[in-house]
Amino acid sequence: MNHHKGELAKEQPHLTPQAKIEILQVLGFLENFDDELAGLMELSAPNAYVKMSAYLVKRHLEAKAVTPTSLIGASGVPYATANRRMKEMIEAGLIEQRPRTSSGKSYSLHPSAHMLEAWTQFSNRVRRLAGDFFGTGEPRAEARDYYFGSSYLAARTIQPPQVLLEPLKVTGGLRVLVHGDPTFMVMHGLKRQFEQVIGCPIQQRAFSIDRLHEEALKNAQRSVSRYDLIALDLPWVGEFAENGYLMPLEDVLDVERLTPSDFHTAGWQGAHWENRAYGVPSQTTPELLFYRKDLFAEAGLEPPHSTDALLEAAQVLHEPSKGRYGIAWNAARGTALGHTFMMTCADFGQPILDLPRQAGGFDASRLASGSYRPTIDTPRALEAAEYLMALLQYSPPDILSMSWYERVRPFANGRVAMAYGYTLLAPYFEQNPTCAAYGKVGYLPHPAGPNAHPIAPVGGYLLCIPANIAPERLAAAVEALIVFTSPEAQKLYVEHGSRTNPRYSVSADPEVRRLSPIFEAVDAMSWRDELQFWPRPPVPEISRIIQICGEECHDMLRGVQSPKAALQSAQDRADQLLRAAGKL
39: pLDDT strictly greater than 70: no
133 falls in which pLDDT band (50, 70, 90)?
Answer: low
- Picking from 494, 520, 546, the residue at the C-terminal end of a domain is 520
- Same-domain check for residues 492 and 477: yes
State the DSSP string of 96-133. Answer: EEEESSTTSSSEEEEE-HHHHHHHHHHHHHHHHHHHHH
> What is the per-residue pLDDT for 131?
66
Q: What is the mean pLDDT of residues 522-543?
A: 90
- Picking from 123, 157, 191, the residue at the C-terminal end of a domain is 157
In a domain, 313, yes or no: yes
Query: How many other CB atoms are there within 10 angstroms of residue 118's CB atom?
Result: 16
> What is the per-residue pLDDT for 18?
57
44: pLDDT strictly greater than 90: no
In a domain, 376, yes or no: yes
- Same-domain check for residues 437 and 497: no
- Same-domain check for residues 97 and 194: no
Distance CA 340, CA 332 (A): 10
582 falls in which pLDDT band (50, 70, 90)?
Answer: confident
pLDDT in tens, 5-20: 333 334 445 555 556 6
> What is the per-residue pLDDT for 29?
77
Distance CA 28, CA 450 (A): 62
Q: How far is CA 553 from CA 200, 330, 547, in A?
A: 47, 12, 10
> What is the per-residue pLDDT for 45?
72
- Amino acid identity, residue 270? G
In a domain, 6, yes or no: no
Q: Strand, coil or helix: what is 518?
A: helix
Q: What is the mean pLDDT of residues 556-581?
A: 96
- Same-domain check for residues 382 and 488: no
> What is the per-residue pLDDT for 289?
98
- Same-domain check for residues 446 and 416: yes
544: pLDDT strictly greater than 80: yes
Return the CATH number at 396.
3.40.190.10
158 falls in which pLDDT band (50, 70, 90)?
Answer: confident
Which of the residue ranges 97-111, 128-142, 381-395 has the most confident prediction, judged by mean pLDDT? 381-395
> What is the per-residue pLDDT for 148?
30
In a domain, 144, yes or no: yes
- Same-domain check for residues 514 and 535: no
Distance CA 575, CA 534 (A): 19
Question: In terms of pLDDT, which residue wins out, 153 or 520?
Answer: 520
- Same-domain check for residues 190 and 267: yes
pLDDT in tens, 457-492: 999 999 999 999 999 999 999 999 999 999 999 999
| Contact (CB, 8 A) for 454 and 530 | yes
Domain total of the chain: 3
pLDDT in tens, 297-330: 999 999 999 999 999 999 999 999 999 999 999 9
Distance CA 518, CA 425 (A): 11
In a domain, 411, yes or no: yes
In a domain, 317, yes or no: yes
Distance CA 375, CA 574 (A): 9
- Picking from 126, 157, 188, the residue at the C-terminal end of a domain is 157
Distance CA 461, CA 445 (A): 20
Distance CA 465, CA 176 (A): 10
> What is the per-residue pLDDT for 24?
74
Q: Please count the residues of the chain.
A: 584
Q: What is the mean pLDDT of residues 206-233?
A: 96
Question: In terms of pLDDT, which residue wins out, 91 or 128?
Answer: 91
State the DSSP string of 206-247. Answer: EE-HHHHHHHHHHHHHSSS-S-SEEEEEGGGHHHHHHTT-B-
| Contact (CB, 8 A) for 235 and 536 | yes
Name the packing angle between helices 113-134 and 150-157 (round to 10°): 150
| Contact (CB, 8 A) for 461 and 234 | yes
Average pLDDT over all residues of the chain: 87
In a domain, 536, yes or no: yes
- CA-closest candidate to residue 187, choices 516, 486, 562: 486
Which range marks the domain in which residue 330 is found?
A: 286-458+531-580
Distance CA 63, CA 72 (A): 19
Phi, psi of 220, deg, nearest 5:
-65, -25
Residue 531's DSSP bridge partners are 456
- Same-domain check for residues 377 and 292: yes
Q: What is the mean pLDDT of residues 57-70?
A: 81
- Same-domain check for residues 492 and 569: no
Name the packing angle between helices 379-392 and 542-557 (round to 10°): 50
Percentage with pLDDT > 90 across the chain: 63
Return the CATH number at 130.
1.10.10.10
- Same-domain check for residues 140 and 231: no
In a domain, 3, yes or no: no
- Same-domain check for residues 441 and 571: yes
Alpha helices, DSSP H, located in 244-286: 265-269
- Same-domain check for residues 434 and 347: yes
